[in-house]
């Protein structure tokens, strides 16, 4: 196995057996997929004592004692270094990285190289204690063979810190469950978390933002500029925006409210009035409601049309012209019913005592949802108009916040 640590500071010898210098670093260029390949090496020139770089094509043999070049130093091919290139020792070694498999933040103790199709590639990162031993130069005589190296292959690595700008957010990162990523973010310091989220597209960023702890949300958003902020807020459901606004100072709220779309702004402003630990503070305006005169078929067609804008759809609420809640229909009912059945026939009528008003306590909400086996609880205002719905996962999140 080839490791970067084995070659740092190793002398470079050209074809005339002259020592050209000592290896400082490997320079890699990220490929479109797979492993970055080593383009060249940086070395300290023995004659001028300055840093220079060579194309990897000039290297004949990579050895632990010396690295031989194919030609003399003068004839060796130089390297055009781009600012987007990754310098392994400078940017990756000893830096913090995110292990996307284990969803944790660790340090790169060593970097593993491999040859495939006669090209040298970065295979992965050694995060084990064995890697540390090797770096210390004491991994000799098989003393430490009981310690196994632990590799994370390059695809499962997300570099944070200095080099984050160089490697765009790994596709694996985007596929992480938001809660797992939130876990990872808690291990990073605020600066690194910001960089990480900024490297994501707005939709993914919004998805992850929702999983953060309140203090993190506030800290992270402080570092975003207006456009980035608006981009993420546009993809956040209204109730998340409300929760966020409650975290920040009143003076800053106005600016954010102005940046929202008209509809969203109205909803958010209204919802801001409710206290956190009441039904009003917990409810979401994001639920589907339909008129009572339509058929099952119409309802299904409507859901198909609007489903993308909603986070969770388990039930749809049926209201009359005055927005009074009449009943609720589950998706199951819609699936098994006849398309021509009027919705009023298949819906389950909701009685007043199965709803709450915005001032209801969390305990009342939980009691009702448990007693009537409800996944979502309708919240009515004082004139019995449908205001919002409390979703069971939001309730759980409030009851077990540290999860």
Stretch (H or E) spanning 68: strand 67-69
Q: Encoding tokens for residue 116?
A: 């495939």
For the CB of residue 81, give the shortest distance to other proteins in the complex, in Å.
Answer: 19
Rounded alpha-carbon distances, angstroms, from residue 104 to 147, 179, 185, 219, 300: 21, 12, 9, 21, 42
Touching other proteins, residues 200-229 (CB under 8 A): 215, 219, 222
**Closest residue by Cα to residue 214 from 401, 396, 361, 392:** 401
Q: Which of 187, 298, 341, 359 binds other proteins (CB under 8 A)?
A: 187
- Check binding of 190 to other proteins (CB under 8 A): yes
Nearer Cβ to other proteins (106/174): 106
- Check binding of 129 to other proteins (CB under 8 A): yes
Pairing state of beta strands 157-159 and 151-153? Answer: unpaired
- Check binding of 95 to other proteins (CB under 8 A): yes
Q: Are 85 and 29 in contact (CB under 8 A)?
A: yes
Q: Which of 75, 107, 168, 273 binds other proteins (CB under 8 A)?
A: 107
Nearer Cβ to other proteins (160/379): 160
Q: Are 315 and 329 in contact (CB under 8 A)?
A: yes
Nearer Cβ to other proteins (105/242): 105
Nearer Cβ to other proteins (195/312): 195
The stretch among 91-99, 171-179, 245-253, 320-328 that binds other proteins (CB under 8 A) is 91-99
Q: What share of the chain is helix, strand, coil (3-state, %, to 5)?
A: 40, 25, 35
- Check binding of 192 to other proteins (CB under 8 A): yes
Residue with tokens 């063979």: 145
Three-class SS state of 8: coil
Nearer Cβ to other proteins (105/374): 105
What is the distance, to the nearest Å, from the Cα of residue 234 to the centroid of all Cα atoms in its chain?
Answer: 17
Residue numbers at the binding site for other proteins (CB under 8 A): 94-96, 104-109, 127, 129, 132, 135-137, 186-187, 189-192, 215, 219, 222
């Amino acid at each position: 196995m080839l490791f970067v640590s084995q070659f740092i500071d190793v002398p470079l010898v050209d074809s005339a057996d002259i020592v050209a210098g000592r290896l400082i670093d490997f320079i890699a260029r990220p490929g479109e997929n797979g492993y970055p390949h080593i383009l060249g090496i940086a070395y300290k020139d023995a004659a001028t004592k300055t840093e220079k770089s060579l194309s990897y094509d000039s290297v004949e043999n990579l050895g632990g004692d010396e690295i031989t070049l194919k030609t003399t130093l003068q004839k060796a091919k130089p390297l055009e270094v781009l600012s987007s290139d990754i310098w392994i020792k400078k940017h990756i070694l000893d830096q913090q990285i995110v292990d996307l498999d284990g969803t944790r933040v660790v340090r790169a103790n060593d970097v593993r190289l491999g040859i495939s199709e006669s090209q040298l590639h970065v295979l992965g990162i050694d995060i084990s204690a064995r890697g540390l031993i090797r770096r210390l130069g004491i991994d000799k005589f098989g003393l430490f063979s009981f310690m196994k190296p632990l590799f994370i292959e390059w695809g499962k690595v997300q570099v944070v810190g200095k080099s984050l700008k160089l490697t765009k957010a790994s596709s694996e990162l985007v596929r992480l469950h938001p809660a797992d990523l939130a876990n990872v973010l808690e291990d990073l310091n605020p600066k690194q978390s910001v960089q990480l989220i900024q490297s994501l597209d707005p939709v993914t960023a919004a998805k992850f933002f929702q999983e953060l702890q309140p203090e993190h949300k506030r800290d992270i958003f402080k570092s975003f500029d207006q456009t980035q902020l608006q981009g993420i807020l546009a993809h956040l459901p209204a109730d998340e925006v409300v929760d966020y606004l409650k975290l920040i100072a009143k003076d800053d709220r106005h600016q954010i409210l102005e940046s929202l779309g008209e509809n969203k702004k109205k909803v958010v402003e209204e919802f801001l009035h409710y206290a956190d630990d009441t039904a009003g503070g917990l409810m979401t305006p994001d639920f589907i409601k339909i008129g009572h005169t339509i058929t099952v078929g119409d309802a299904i067609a409507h859901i198909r049309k609007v489903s993308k804008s909603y986070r969770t759809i388990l039930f749809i609420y049926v209201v009359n012209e005055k927005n009074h809640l009449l009943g609720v229909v589950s998706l199951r009912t819609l699936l098994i019913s006849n398309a021509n059945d009027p919705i009023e026939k298949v819906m389950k009528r909701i009685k007043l005592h199965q709803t709450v008003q915005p001032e209801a306590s969390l305990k009342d909400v939980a009691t009702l949802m448990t007693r009537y086996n409800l996944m979502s609880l309708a919240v009515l205002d004082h004139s019995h108009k449908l205001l919002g719905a409390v979703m069971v996962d939001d309730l759980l999140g409030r009851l077990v916040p540290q999860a």
